[in-house]
């Protein structure tokens, strides 16, 4: 078996070498070509964001992630472009990309830094709430395709409540409990509408996010008043008349214009599809196949994206789902703790939470690392519930105004089918080994979907959940009491019970230390480790190597994913409504044997 695997490995490397080798060879001149592309002279740096800007690129063949398509890579490249004297201008291709609110805020700041030194043109086929914000702040000139649309429509949340369907129509037993009156995680299953507490929590965070969004737009584009940016969608020509965009035209026309204005004679794709590859790509492929990090550096950047779980869930009800897997994550953190060449660690987190058990195990491993070297967290769109459980271990936590933090609470329960089956003539009988003990049957079968919880069982489950909630508060107190800070349980409790907050409110409440993005978090890590401003940042791969990926027993390996996950419900959701996947999977541990979860109550995405 090992010989066969080695053959696959060598073949893959040889194929990659051939591909990389061929890519660099000059192609024969086309018979109809009048002039070959210029390879020297002033250049226009092209950033292709039309494929989106994910926190982490999805892995391709053998688990190798794509290059120059992730958010942290965009941060590095924009810094390079800003200081590159050979690039006289920048062309940003937005296409119809959907970019999360917090990432959009930092991207806008990145581009604004370049705009202060050179022209930045942006072209889009369609502009959403967040990509309009990016273009408004970061671009010297905004272009929109003639058949495109400016979807400046304002921010809103929509929550689906299913109690009547589940209980009245399908006759299912919905046994869900929560600790924290603002948590609201069970409300979509147990209510026909929001509780006053859940409504207040959601409306508060929406107000904070709206304020940050409006402020960015109106400061960058004085004509972008709330009356306009919340009253779309607008046609391209109308958007131009309103001052939301500057020109209506095609991408090639915008590119020609930026060349004309800057004196650029060629374009160079630096990010996204068609980006120039850097030296050492073959070595990087070999390391990736072996499960090693792509590079080394005194600052280690770890991506923690998606729901939190003990396993990849390949055999669960939802199929393989990825996310932040306890086994993989803790193995990575343990390696960084022991690596003396790593002087500080930055974790970029974007998670709605998930398994309470996995969150606590990861918290423990992160605290061990923090005792040896600086640990800084950068919050992407969200570090809520279990996501915040991890983030509280940081020496410092950075978040954007439109990031979401908090949701400190616990939810647990199950959906039972016993009553529904009884209606069609199917009866389940429980036979306890100790039949004379009152409640023995209900207790022994409390995990069964065929039996609903009686009141004594609910009391015991709630008691267990309350214990997890108190542990959650204690972990935050210990995690946040560092670097001269001392936080009490009462102080944490004021922001607990499931409330969610925007970045600014989170900072005011002591849940966040600084308003800023990934770049700011990296700068703080360098400062804490007494490193220079140019100290290298190494992105630590979270994926396993080829050999482990083919091991059926490995977390998230091929044995779990190749067969079942291709047709799993999660794969269907990824193709249809990808934004909700992290939120659905954050509750998946409850369907796979665990009885408590630390997860955000509803899917909150801003586009």
Q: Is the pLDDT of residue 142 over 60?
A: yes
Higher-pLDDT residue of 43 and 10 is: 43
To the nearest 10°, report the CA torsion of 178, 183, 189, 190: 60
pLDDT tens profile 177-205: 888 877 777 888 889 998 999 899 999 99
14-24: average pLDDT: 38
pLDDT recorded at residue 182 = 74
Higher-pLDDT residue of 586 and 544 is: 586
Architecture of domain 40-156+205-271: Alpha-Beta Complex (3.90)
Task: DSSP for 507-567, please give it.
Answer: HHTTS-SEE--HHHHHHHHHHHTT--TT--EEEEP-S--HHHHT-TTSTT-HHHHTTGGGG
pLDDT recorded at residue 295 = 53
pLDDT recorded at residue 531 = 97
Domain boundaries, the chain: 40-156+205-271, 291-411+486-599
292-306: average pLDDT: 80
Find where tokens 């409330």 sit.
Answer: 499
The mean pLDDT of the chain is: 83
- Count of alpha carbons within 13 angstroms of residue 368, beta-carbon side: 15
596-602: average pLDDT: 65
d(CA 144, CA 139): 13
Please tell me the least confidently modeled range out of 94-98, 136-140, 174-178, 497-501. 174-178
* C-beta separation of 515 from 503 below 8 A: yes
d(CA 251, CA 114): 20
DSSP state of 207: H
Q: C-alpha 383: how far from its chain's center?
A: 9
pLDDT tens profile 47-82: 999 999 998 876 554 455 554 589 999 999 999 999
* C-beta separation of 427 from 421 below 8 A: yes
What the block records as the tokens of 228 is 């306009």
Kindly give, in sequence order, each residue whose CB lies less than 8 Å from that of residue 130, ignoring residues fewer than 6 positions away: 98, 99, 100, 101, 104, 213, 606, 607
- Alpha carbon distances (Å) from 355 to 176, 326, 549: 16, 9, 23
Q: Is the pLDDT of residue 546 over 60?
A: no
pLDDT recorded at residue 587 = 59
Higher-pLDDT residue of 286 and 240 is: 240
Find where tokens 């591909």 sit.
Answer: 19
pLDDT recorded at residue 186 = 80
Question: What 3-state class would DSSP assign to 328?
Answer: helix
Alpha helices in 235-375 (DSSP H): 236-241, 251-262, 281-289, 326-338, 356-370
40-156+205-271 and 291-411+486-599 share one fold:
yes
Q: Residue 439's closest CA among 426, 429, 453?
A: 453
d(CA 126, CA 233): 10
Architecture of domain 291-411+486-599: Alpha-Beta Complex (3.90)
């Amino acid at each position: 078996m090992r010989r066969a695997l080695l053959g696959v490995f060598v073949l893959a490397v040889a194929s990659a070498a051939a591909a990389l080798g061929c890519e660099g060879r000059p192609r024969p001149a086309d018979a109809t070509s009048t002039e070959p592309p210029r390879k020297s002279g002033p250049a226009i740096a092209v950033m292709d964001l039309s494929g989106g800007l994910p926190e982490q690129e999805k892995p391709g063949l053998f688990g190798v992630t794509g290059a120059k398509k992730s958010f942290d890579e965009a941060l590095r490249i924009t810094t390079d472009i800003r200081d590159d004297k050979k690039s006289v201008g920048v062309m940003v291709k937005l296409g119809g990309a959907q970019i999360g609110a917090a990432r959009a805020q930092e991207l806008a700041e990145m581009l604004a830094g370049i705009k202060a030194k050179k022209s930045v043109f942006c072209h889009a086929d369609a502009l959403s709430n967040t990509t309009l914000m990016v273009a408004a702040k970061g671009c010297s000139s905004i272009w929109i395709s003639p058949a495109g649309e400016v979807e400046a429509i304002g921010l809103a949340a929509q929550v689906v409540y299913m109690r009547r369907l589940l209980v009245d129509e399908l006759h299912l037993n919905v046994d869900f409990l929560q600790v924290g009156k603002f948590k609201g995680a069970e409300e979509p299953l147990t209510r026909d509408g929001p509780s006053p507490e859940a409504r207040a929590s959601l409306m508060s965070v929406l107000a904070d996010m709206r304020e940050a969004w409006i402020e960015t737009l109106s400061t960058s584009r004085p004509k972008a008043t709330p009356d306009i940016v919340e009253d779309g969608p607008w046609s391209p020509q109308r958007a131009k008349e309103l001052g939301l965009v500057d020109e209506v035209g095609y991408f090639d026309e915008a590119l020609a214009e930026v060349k004309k204005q800057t004196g650029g004679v060629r374009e160079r794709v630096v990010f996204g599809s068609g980006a120039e590859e850097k030296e050492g790509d073959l070595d990087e492929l070999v390391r990736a196949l072996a499960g090693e990090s792509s590079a080394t550096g005194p600052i280690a950047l770890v991506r923690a994206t998606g729901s939190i779980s003990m396993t990849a869930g390949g055999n669960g009800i939802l199929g393989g789902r990825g996310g932040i897997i306890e086994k993989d994550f803790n193995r990575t953190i343990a390696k960084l703790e022991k690596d003396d060449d790593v002087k500080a660690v930055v974790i970029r987190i974007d998670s709605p939470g998930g398994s309470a058990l996995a969150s606590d195990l990861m918290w423990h491993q992160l605290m061990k690392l923090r005792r040896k070297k600086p640990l800084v967290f950068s919050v992407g769109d969200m570090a809520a519930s279990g996501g915040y459980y991890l983030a509280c271990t940081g020496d410092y936590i950075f978040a954007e105004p439109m990031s979401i933090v908090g949701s400190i609470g616990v939810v647990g329960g199950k959906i039972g089918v016993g009553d529904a089956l009884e209606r069609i003539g199917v009866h389940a009988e429980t036979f306890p080994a100790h039949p004379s003990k009152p409640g023995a049957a209900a207790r022994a079968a409390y995990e069964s979907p065929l039996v609903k919880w009686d009141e004594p069982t609910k009391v015991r489950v709630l008691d267990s959940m309350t214990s997890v909630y108190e542990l959650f508060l204690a972990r935050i107190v210990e995690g946040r009491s560092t670097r001269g800070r001392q936080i009490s349980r009462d102080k944490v409790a004021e922001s607990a019970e499931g409330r969610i907050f925007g970045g600014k409110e989170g900072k005011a409440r002591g849940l966040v230390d600084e308003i800023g993005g990934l770049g700011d978090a990296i700068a703080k890590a360098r400062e804490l480790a007494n490193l220079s401003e140019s100290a290298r940042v190494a992105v630590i791969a979270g994926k396993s190597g080829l050999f482990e990926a083919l091991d059926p027993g490995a977390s998230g390996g091929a044995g779990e994913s190749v067969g079942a996950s291709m047709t799993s419900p999660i794969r269907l959701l990824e193709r249809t409504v990808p934004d909700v996947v992290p939120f659905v999977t954050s509750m998946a541990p409850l369907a796979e044997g665990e009885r408590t979860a630390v997860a955000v109550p509803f899917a909150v995405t801003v586009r």
